[in-house]
């Protein structure tokens, strides 16, 4: 099985993990490797790997790098068949790699991948995940990824980047501190700033929810996030997991934390703004900013998102 590596030297603010993998791979003539500079070169790097016959693509970077790779791959026209993908934990945030159970040390993970490929035992490491397609209008673009956060999430990421220096501290450490602070603010009744509610209209598989202000809206196809967060309790048989939290939230921070770990609120009701749903198609009318796997889209009036998840990617646990 031909293994290829796509590296992003800028991932994680230039973390050494990326460079360590690049050096390791440079000593392996059996591995094809590219390291494009900038988003405009992503497709070209992937075409080079496709021409080399790569069947297992290792993504040496974080969530943002993986998002760019998935978007180019699933738009089609590069690989005849979408390769298996093994994301490493080389970036600032690595939610997809964490969800798959990837090894903490990227070079060690790379060694395990190459050994599995050489010994024809990759198949037991395969984990399938649906990939969301997020169509953004009137921008006229479609991005692919495994996580989409609106409003508060977009502003919280900006807050993390402004509070902490580039690198590891902008990842789980910084996000954990900011999330804790935001929970305390919401449950204390505070408002404004990062946790200002955003007025949204959400349609789930054709059913329109009442237009209202939301403090939190996230959609994902992952099973869990960092810090063991799993804010899903929907029961429908559908790939897109959507969680909403309205302006009026639970006054007990312990209950909020339980909801973030997948424990539903007491007596959940479909007409209440706090909810968790599994859907095939989600449409959202919004003016606020959003993020798709760390890629930031600033606020713009009159936007409409359409989220589906028809594509399935075979990931490899690194």
| Residue 214 φ/ψ, nearest 5 degrees | -120, 140
Q: Which H or E run contains 81?
A: none
Instruction: Give residue 173's pLDDT.
Output: 47
Q: Is 144 helix (H, G, I), strand (E, B) or coil?
A: strand
CA distance 236 to 196: 30
- Contact (CB, 8 A) for 17 and 44: no
Point out which residues pair with 32 in neighbouring strands: 4
What span, in angstroms and rounded, lies between the C-alpha atoms of 132 and 310?
7
Residue whose token pair is 């992952």 = 222
* CA terminus-to-terminus distance, the chain: 15
Low-confidence ranges of the chain (pLDDT < 50): 164, 169-171, 173-175, 177
Q: How far is CA 155 from CA 136, 160, 192, 198, in A?
A: 19, 9, 12, 11
Comparing CA positions, the residue from 313, 297, 296, 90 lying closest to residue 221 is 313
Q: Which two tokens stand for residue 191?
A: 């408002």
Please report the DSSP string for 199-267 in residue order.
EEEEEETTEEPPPEEEEEEEEE--S--GGG-------SS-SEEEEEEESS--S-HHHHHHHHTT-PPSS
Q: How far apart are CA 29 and CA 32, in angstroms?
A: 7
The rounded distance, in Å, linking the Cα atoms of 209 and 277 is 12
The backbone region for 179, taken as left when phi is positive above 0, alpha when psi lies in -120 to 50, beta otherwise, is alpha
If we measure between CA atoms, which residue out of 138, 133, 131, 71 comes closest to residue 304?
138
Can you give the C-alpha Rg of the chain in angstroms? 20
**Domains, in order of start, for the chain:** 3-131 (3.40.50.10330), 133-310 (2.60.200.40)
pLDDT recorded at residue 179: 54
The pTM assigned to this predicted structure is 0.88
Q: What is the dihedral of CA 136, 139, 145, 149, to 10 degrees?
A: -60
Task: Give the pLDDT confidence score for residue 38 in this predicted structure.
Answer: 82
**For residue 229, which phi and psi values (nearest 5 degrees)?**
-75, 135
Query: How many other C-beta atoms are found inside a 10 Å radius of the C-beta of residue 241?
Result: 26
User: Measuring CA to CA, how many Å separate 282 from each of 30, 201, 204, 295, 306?
Assistant: 43, 11, 5, 20, 6
């Amino acid at each position: 099985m031909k293994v290829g590596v796509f590296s992003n030297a800028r991932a994680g603010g230039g973390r050494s993990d990326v460079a360590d993998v690049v050096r390791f791979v440079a000593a392996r003539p059996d591995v094809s490797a590219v390291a494009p500079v900038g988003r405009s070169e992503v497709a070209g790097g992937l075409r080079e790997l496709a021409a080399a016959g790569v069947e297992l693509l290792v993504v040496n970077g974080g969530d943002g790098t993986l998002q760019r790779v998935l978007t180019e791959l699933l738009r089609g026209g590069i690989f005849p068949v979408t390769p298996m993908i093994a994301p490493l934990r080389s970036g600032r945030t690595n939610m997809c790699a964490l969800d798959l159970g990837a090894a903490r040390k990227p070079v060690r993970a790379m060694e395990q991948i190459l050994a599995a490929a050489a010994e024809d035992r990759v198949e037991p490491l395969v984990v399938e995940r649906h990939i969301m397609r997020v169509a953004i209008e009137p921008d006229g673009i479609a991005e692919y990824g495994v996580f989409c956060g609106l409003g508060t999430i977009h502003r919280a990421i900006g807050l993390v980047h402004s509070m902490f220096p580039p690198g590891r501290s902008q990842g789980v450490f910084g996000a954990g501190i900011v999330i804790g602070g935001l929970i305390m603010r919401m449950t204390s009744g505070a408002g404004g700033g990062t946790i200002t509610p955003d007025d949204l209209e959400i349609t789930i598989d054709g059913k329109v929810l009442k237009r209202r202000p939301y403090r939190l809206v996230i959609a994902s196809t992952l099973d869990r996030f960092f810090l063991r967060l799993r804010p899903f309790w929907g029961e429908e048989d559908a790939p897109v997991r959507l969680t909403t939290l309205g302006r009026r939230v639970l006054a007990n921070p312990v209950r909020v934390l339980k909801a973030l770990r997948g424990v539903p609120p007491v007596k959940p009701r479909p007409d209440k703004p706090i909810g968790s749903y599994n859907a095939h198609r989600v449409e959202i009318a919004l003016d606020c900013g959003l993020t798709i796997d760390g890629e930031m889209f600033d606020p713009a009036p009159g936007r409409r998102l359409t989220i589906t998840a028809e594509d399935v990617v075979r990931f490899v646990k690194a």
